[in-house]
Amino acid sequence: MLVSLNWLSQYVDLEGYSADELAELITKGGIEVETVESLNKGIKGVVIGHVLECVGHPDADKLSVCKVDIGEEEPVQIICGAANIAKGQYVAVAKVGAVLPGNFKIKKAKLRGEPSHGMICSLQELGIESKLVQKEYAEGIFVFSDEVTPGEDALEYLNLNDNVLELGLTPNRADAMNMIGIAYEVGAVLNRPISLPSPELVRSEENAEDYVSVRVENEENTPYYGATIIKDITVKPSPQWLVNRLVSAGIRPINNVVDITNFVLLEYGQPLHAFDYDRFGSKEVVVRRANQGEKIVTLDDTERTLSSDHLVITNGTNPVAVAGVMGGADSEVQQDTTTVLLEAAYFNSKLVRKSSKDLGLRSDSSARFEKGIDRNRVVPASERAAQLMQELAGGTVLRGVSEQGARHIEAKDVTVEVSRINQVLGTEISESDVAAIFDRLQFSYKNFGGTFTVQVPPRRPDITITEDLIEEVGRLYGYDNVPATLPITESTPGQLTDFQLKRRRVRRLLEGAGLYQAVTYSLTSPAKRVFFSDESPEAIRLAMPMSEERSELRTSLLPHLLEAAQYNINRQLENLAFYETASVFLPSGSDLPEEQEHLAGVMTGLWQEHPWQKEKKPADFFVIKGIVEEIAEDLGLEDRLTFVRAEEPKLHPGRTAAIQLDGELIGYIGQLHPEVEKELDLPETYVFELNLEKVLKANVAHLKYAKLPRFPSVTRDVALVVDETLEAAEVKRVIKEVGGDKLVDINLFDVYQGEHLEDGKKSLAFSLRYYNPEQTLTEEEVKNAHDRVLQAVEEQFGAALRS
Amino acid sequence: MQERLQTLKEEALTQIEAASSMKELQDIRVAYLGKKGPITEILRGMGKLSAEERPKMGQLANDIRAAISEKLDEKTQVMEKAAVEEKLKEETIDITLPGRPVKKGNHHPLTRVIEEIEDLFLGMGFSIAEGPEVETDYYNFEALNLPKDHPARDMQDSFYVTEETLLRTHTSPMQARTMEKLNGEGPVKIIVPGKVYRRDTDDATHSHQFMQIEGLMVGEDVRMSDLKGVLQSFAKKMFGEEREIRLRPSFFPFTEPSVEMDISCFNCGGSGCSVCKSTGWIEILGGGMVHPNVLRMSGFDPEKVTGFAFGMGPERIAMLKYGIDDIRHFYTNDSRFIKQFKHI
């Protein structure tokens, strides 16, 4: 909503406040002023001129040589290139020395040999947007239609000394979508009285009801509909004051009749529609639901197809307007219109919203109906418009209004106690202060011992409950005056849940291990939704995606993490380590999908690097596996998390493991399949993804201290030669199985293949530590246990001791 | 004999003085003081001396032995010290060479901001609630006093999955979810961080996915002044002790009264600059007193309890706090961006 301060000052005295000060006060009062715009874009020295003579330029077809009276002793000669220049016109002249928007300075000039002392201006040259310039002046200079005096400041006449506030209205403040509503608000904020227009109408002897009847099929949809008839209209341009009002509000002037309905819309907030009575097509207005598939060509020359969800105005046969949204082209007011059927109605806001949404058609009218207009202002607004048509278009207003429905509704009572106000706000506002605030708002009330029963006028439909009144009092009392306190309630322990605490630990650990946290999008494309072969084939898909690229909720994190890696690789950032914790979304069979929190990581390039020591440690399978193992250990799951050889189409067949927790599959780890690497243009890349919830929710016993060793332990190293395909974990498992309770540690310390070993064989060297917490181990105990180990590995794997 | 001893002493001391290695010193020790050495030999021949001279000569021989031994020890020490010094000298390194970095990662700036805010509210006795990102229309809108067809639904065009489910447009649904579980028994003190989604085209200031932190406190006698106090602590913690806040009236369907909170500009201190668009104030968050309909629908009696709620955007806070100019940086994961948030 654009608010001209010149216009607003017609209703409320703004004396003593600058535009910026007003903006600040209005904002603090609750309606945000987004911008303060001066309509004068730096103009100086533009006056009204009277074209005394105008002849063709001797040397140029398109130029005219004019003698212009600019209120000085002698007329000046100005060369003008506009096609619509003519003798006798009153025009805006930028004198020599004048400045136009963009710091454009006017100097004496010679055009094709003829001296020119100034410039005759178009409205665009004066800084008015092209879309707001009347059609007749769009291609040329502007011509005053009112009586004006040469030499006077043209800016005053064109309202270019005005300031305009742009309001950012919240949906509840539909009351401020019109000048009268804003006058009430500013009056309350400034604590100043307001004066409203009181239209005086002279009505003719003829009755409107003899011209037209009104029938509303459903009063719930249309609580009030009134038709006023105005005869003897002359359609012509509006006077400058009306043009100025519309331009300041961002509406292009058309002709007096249309301008008047727009003006009243802006002033009263009441959308009106003027039909050409002779083109209406009947003598009856019928308001009804549209028939399925019924068509209408609206004012914007577009054919619209309607349904029974839409409310239409008809002439008994055909629709002539989409109620509250836009009129039809057939009954539009035209140059030759003489009789106007003026509609002023109250339509159901939901129906207008529905039509506007379905037809993709938003208008100044629909915007107001949707948010709710003032029921009690419908008739006064139509009277205001009729009065202006009488005044500005020579119209004769017929007696009465053809109407259906009640013209007025009663104010609603809402009650609030002063004690409640103070309880909610934490303030100590007195009864008399509360009364004064309601006075400023021009709300009538009764006060019994601090209990206010307020009659809320229909112009404020947003106020329906006690809390709404508390807000009114609070905002005008000023939130700056509300103290800052700390809550007095029973104390509550503020702590992270076990899950949240562990998740923070996991993140810290990953970061300590060199990974950076990434955050990627949840919405993805069908192609990028899935990474692993066991993921859900069905997706959670948006009903109306904005693009295919963001149409489904992801079921794994890796595709977007890999995308992040790609992004960095493309920028020559080669050593990458990212992790992300986020939800994936799985169909669950119930209303909401299952949201599972996952953890994924991606590593490529060097993991650690010490350049001058010439040490480089590239990320590899065991780096990333070590990090996952570290997480398990941090969470007390080191003995429960296992890695089992696995195959996944997008991972390297020889370098992939399934991650299991207590034997249950919870994720995968491995190198990207070289084909996938090639496809994504990534170098050797290692990844993992696991179900973080399973890991964080696994029950773990409380940490308990283990007694420090009191006796020496014995360590025996053993190097076993086995088949190269045998997995180390299998050997370890068997060692552990047969080692007995004295075998407390099994550490693999060497893996060797090559010289001195048979082809197809490898050597695995373990360090086995034996310990007895009760007493010093005897040589025999150790020997027995160790022999069992050696025997078992030999029997099971044919493992030979390496000499 | 006496002369001979004296000569031996002179000889030995000269040799010790001249010795240049530990080996030589060892040889000298063996040569003079060993069992086969000259002094031992002289002492062996003492039997030929008179009883009178014998102790004297013995004394002298022992003194000389001691003198040589002392000198040897002295010289050994000197040489050992020199050897250590030599070794230390050899071990000297260029201490200006770069250290061996412990290469660590760090968390994303949004996590950084969120955890900072979480910790602040944990300290005030709030707990952290988390909820689903795909929500029912009921929790996302209706339970928050936003019935179907409410014009305020225009404020946040949403991604629907079905007619009744959508990607949550704010983390406010956890207000209703949390309160429902408590069967009308307060107090409620939660903050709700999480991802939210709106139908926006991504550009420098818009993102179809972003973070939000919702706060809710419900109990007996929770006042708007408490909201102001809590938010003031928040503003000072996040943006500096000198920050002032102001509340402006606003509108949200789920709070009444509703406010927006501005902080005094941390860049110019309030005198006006480009960060605060010359107003001296920066809009940070929205909030208000929980609407009685919201309390009622979630099983609380608005006659008995009141509450406040607020919602803020970690992206906005991070952008202001660190001077980040484009919201898309948070989601492209350029490592040069994320690495900047390493230090405290």
A474 touches chain B (CB under 8 A): yes
Interchain CB distance below 8 Å, A496 and B332:
no
Cα(A582)–Cα(A578) distance, integer angstroms:
13
Reply yes or no on whether the pLDDT at B113 is more than 70: yes
Candidates A36, A417, A467: best to mutate against B (most CBs of B within 10 A) is A467
For residue A575, give how far its alpha carbon lies from the nearest alpha carbon of chain B (Å).
10
Strand partners of residue B210: B196
Check if the beta carbon of residue A142 is closer than 8 Å to that of residue A159: no
| CATH number of the domain enclosing A286 | 3.50.40.10
> From B121, which residue of chain A is nearest by alpha-carbon distance?
A494
Which of B248, B278, B331 is most worth mutating to test chain A (most A CB atoms within 10 A of its CB)? B248
User: In terms of domains, do A50 and A181 share one?
Assistant: no
Which pLDDT belongs to residue B155? 54
Q: Does residue B296 belong to the interface with chain A, where contact is any CB pair within 8 Å?
A: no
- Beta strand A114-116 with A714-723: parallel, antiparallel or unpaired? unpaired
Q: Verify whether the Cβ–Cβ distance B104 to A514 is below 8 Å.
A: yes
Taking contacts as CB-CB distances below 8 angstroms, the residues of chain B near A479 are 224, 228, 246-249, 259
Q: How much is the mean pLDDT over chain A?
A: 93
A475 to chain B: which residues are within 8 Å by CB? 249, 257
Spell out the SS3 assignment of A303-359: EEECCCCCEEEECCCCEEEECCCEEECCCCCCCCCCCEEEEEEECCHHHHHHHHHHH
Q: Determine the average pLDDT of the residues in B151-179.
A: 87
CATH of the domain at A94: 2.40.50.140
Helix (H) or strand (E) holding A33: strand A32-38
Does a structural domain hold residue A662? yes
Which chain B residues are Cβ-neighbours of A175 within 8 angstroms? none
Are A483 and B225 an interchain contact pair (Cβ–Cβ within 8 Å)? yes
- Mean pLDDT of the A170-181 span: 92
Mean local confidence (pLDDT), A504-527: 96
> Do residues A258 and A376 both lie within one domain?
yes
Higher pLDDT, B278 or A123: A123
User: Would you tell me which residues 313-332 of chain B have a C-beta closer than 8 angstroms to some C-beta of chain A?
Assistant: 330-332
Do A561 and A652 lie in a common domain? yes
Residues in chain A closer than 8 A to B186 (CB atoms):
489
Bond from prior residue into B257 cis (ω within 30 degrees of 0): yes
Please compute the mean of the pLDDT values over residues A727-747 and round it to a whole number. Answer: 93
Give pLDDT, residue A58: 87
Chain A, 524 to 553: residues with Cβ < 8 Å from chain B are 540-546, 550, 553
Of the candidates B159, B187, B331, which has its C-beta nearest A519's C-beta? B331
Contact (CB<8Å) B111/A517 = yes
With 60 as the cut, is the pLDDT of residue B275 above it? yes
CB pairs under 8 A between A and B: 251
DSSP A580-630: EEEEEEE--SSSSPEEEEEEEEEEESEEEEEGGGTEEEE--HHHHHHHHHH
CB within 8 Å: A479 and B248: yes
Residue A311 near residue A324, CB atoms below 8 Å: yes
Structure confidence at residue B151 (pLDDT): 65
Write out pLDDT tens, residues A342-374: 999 999 999 999 999 999 999 999 999 988 899
Q: What angle do CA A10, A16, A20 make, to 5 degrees?
A: 90
Q: For residue A329, give Cα distances in angstroms to A298, A305, A355, A404, B205.
A: 5, 14, 17, 25, 41
**CATH for B109-341 (3.40.50.10070, 3.30.930.10, 3.40.1390.30, 3.40.50.2300):** 3.30.930.10
Choice among A9-23, A266-280, A498-512, A745-759 with the minimum mean pLDDT: A745-759
Inter-chain residue contact A423 with B221, CB threshold 8 Å: yes
Report d(CA A101, CA A190) in Å as an integer: 34
Q: What is the largest CA-CA distance in chain A?
A: 131
Burial classification of residue A793, based on how many CB atoms lie within 10 Å of its CB (0-12 exposed, 13-18 middle, 19 or more buried): buried
Interface of A with B in 221-240 (CB under 8 A): none
**Mutation test of the interface with chain A: which of B111, B140, B161, B255, choosing the one with the most A Cβ atoms within 10 A?**
B161
Contact at CB, B223 and A424, closer than 8 angstroms: yes
**CA triplet A248, A253, A257: central angle to 5 degrees?**
125
Residues of B in contact with A425 (CB under 8 A): 223-225, 257
Place of tokens 């956890």: B174
Q: What is the pLDDT of residue A692?
A: 97
- The pLDDT value given to residue B267: 84
CA distance A615 to A608: 8
DSSP H or E run through A3: strand A2-4
Q: Which helix (H) or strand (E) holds B249?
A: strand B245-252
pLDDT, tens digit, for every residue of A307-344?
A: 999 999 999 999 999 999 999 999 999 999 999 999 99
| Max CA distance (Å), chain B | 135
Res A187 pLDDT > 90: yes
Flag whether residue B228 sits within 8 Å of chain A, measured between CB atoms: yes
Confirm whether A14 is domain-assigned: yes
Does B343 contact chain A (CB < 8 Å)?
A: no
pLDDT over threshold 60, residue A231 = yes
Residue-level pLDDT at A155:
92
Q: Which runs of consecutive H residues, i.e. helices, occur in A612-739?
A: 621-634, 674-680, 692-697, 728-739
Q: What percent of chain A has pLDDT over 90?
A: 85
User: At A799, is the pLDDT very low, low, confident or very high (cuts 50, 70, 90)?
Assistant: confident
Which residues, other chains included, contact A604 with Cβ-Cβ below 8 Å and sequence gap of 6+?
A: A565, A569, A574, A575, A576, A619, A682, A683, A684, A685, A686
Number of structural domains (chain A) is 6
Look up the CATH number of the domain holding residue A468: 3.30.56.10
Q: Could you tell me what percent of chain A has a pLDDT over 70?
A: 100
The per-residue pLDDT for range A369-381, each reduced to its tens digit, is 988 899 999 999 9
Average pLDDT over residues A642-646: 95
* B122, B259, B330: residue with CB nearest A494: B122
Residue B66 or B197, more confident? B197
B249 pairs with which residues across the strands? B259
Q: Are residues A327 and A353 in the same domain?
A: yes
Show which of A669, A697, A725 is a domain's final residue. Answer: A697
Kindly state whether residues A143 and A213 are assigned to the same domain.
Answer: no
Task: Show Cβ contacts of residue A84 under 8 Å, excluding neighbours closer than 6 positions.
Answer: A136, A137, A139, A140, A141, A143
Per-residue 3-state assignment (H helix, E strand, C coil) for A14-32 = CCCCCHHHHHHHHHHHCCE
Residue written as token pair 């986020």: A582
For residue A732, give the CATH number of its domain: 3.30.70.380
Per-residue buried b or exposed e for A199-227, using 16+ beta carbons within 10 Å of the residue's own CB: beeeeeeeebbebbbbebeeeebbbbbbb
**Residues B2/B10, Cβ–Cβ less than 8 Å:** no
Average pLDDT over residues B81-100: 91
**Could you state, in order of their start, the residue ranges of all structural domains in chain B?**
2-91, 109-341
> Is A16 within a domain?
yes
- What one-character-per-residue DSSP string does A463-528 give? --SHHHHHHHHHHHH-GGGSPP----S--------HHHHHHHHHHHHHHHTTPEE----SEE-HHH
Angstrom distance (rounded) from CA A709 to CA A715: 14
Q: CA-based angle A393:A394:A396, to the nearest 5? A: 115
The reply to whether residue A371 touches residue B151, judged by beta carbons under 8 angstroms, is yes
Does A705 map to a domain?
no
Specify which residues A687 forms β-bridges with.
A602, A670
CB contact at 8 A, A598 and B126: no
**Residue in chain A nearest B148 by alpha carbon:** A350
Residue B46 has pLDDT above 80, yes or no: no
CB distance from B232 to chain A under 8 Å? yes
User: Cα(A258)–Cα(A388) distance, rounded to whole angstroms?
Assistant: 11
Distance CA A467, CA B307 (A): 12
**Looking at CA atoms only, how far is residue A405 from chain B in angstroms?**
25
**Contact residues, chain B, for A567 at CB < 8 Å:** 332-334
Mean pLDDT of B207-223: 96
**Contacts B248 to A, Cβ<8 Å:** 27-28, 30, 32, 479
- Selected for mutation to probe chain A from B163, B197, B234, B333 (highest A CB count within 10 Å) is B333
A794 is written with which tokens?
A: 């030999």
Q: And the tokens for A428?
A: 């100590």
- Residue B269 has a pLDDT of 83
Encode pLDDT of B290-314 as tens digits. Answer: 999 999 999 999 999 999 999 999 9
> Residue A757 pLDDT > 90, yes or no?
no
Please identify among residues 718-757 of chain A the ones whose CB lies closer than 8 Å to any CB of chain B. Answer: none
Q: What's the token pair of residue A129?
A: 């947007």
Among the residue ranges A264-268, A587-591, A619-623, the one predicted with the least confidence is A587-591
Of B127, B152, B222, the CB nearest to A494: B127
In which domain, by residue range, is A256 found? 203-405
CA distance B213 to chain A (A): 16
Of A405, A432, A448, the residue at which a domain comes to its end is A405
Contact across the interface for A30 and B105, Cβ inside 8 Å: no
Q: Are residues A182 and A88 in the same domain?
A: no
User: What was the pLDDT predicted at A553?
Assistant: 96
3-class secondary structure, A699: coil
Residue B43 confidence (pLDDT) = 75
Alpha-carbon span A64 to A86, nearest angstrom: 9
Task: Output the pLDDT for position B49.
Answer: 78
- pLDDT for the residue A675: 96
Q: In the prediction, which pLDDT does B154 show?
A: 61
- Mean pLDDT along residues A630-656: 95
Asked if B56 is an interface residue toward chain A (Cβ–Cβ < 8 A), one would say no
Do the Cβ atoms of A584 and A591 come closer than 8 Å?
no
Asked if A482 and B151 come within 8 Å (Cβ–Cβ), the reply is: no
Q: Is the pLDDT of residue B152 over 70?
A: no
On the question of a cis peptide bond just before residue B187, with omega within 30 degrees of 0, the verdict is yes
**A464-498 confidence digits (pLDDT tens):** 999 999 999 999 999 999 999 998 877 788 899 99
Arithmetic mean of pLDDT, B2-12? 83
Distance from CA of A461 to the nearest CA of B (A): 13
Q: What are phi and psi of A745, to 5 degrees?
A: -140, 135
Taking CB atoms and an 8 Å limit, are B106 and A497 in contact across chains? no
Same domain? A747 vs A760? yes
CA nearest A574 in B: which residue? B335
Q: Is the domain of A98 the same as that of A143? A: yes
Task: Please report the residues numbered 561 through 600 in chain A whose beta carbons come closer than 8 angstroms to any beta carbon of chain B.
Answer: 564, 567-568, 571, 573, 576-579, 582-583, 585, 591-593, 595
Which chain B positions have a beta carbon within 8 Å of A488's beta carbon?
Answer: 221
Instruction: Point out the least confidently predicted range of A281-295, B237-251, B267-281.
Output: B267-281
Q: Which of A467, A485, A567 lies at the smallest CB-CB distance from B256?
A: A467
pLDDT at residue A435 tops 90 = yes
Verify whether the Cβ–Cβ distance A521 to B209 is below 8 Å.
yes
Q: Which of residues 163-182 of B touch A (CB under 8 A)?
A: 163-165, 167
DSSP code, position A387? H
**Is it the case that residue B50 has pLDDT exceeding 90?**
no
Residue B266 pLDDT grade (very low, low, confident, very high; cuts 50, 70, 90):
confident
CB under 8 Å to B39, separation ≥6 — which residues? B5, B8, B32, B33, B61, B64, B65
Angstrom CA distances, A301 to A327, A329, A333, B201, stand at 10, 7, 14, 30
Token pair belonging to A525? 């494309």
Q: Are residues A531 and A580 in the same domain?
A: yes
Residues within 8 A of B (CB atoms), A 1-60 only: 27-30, 32
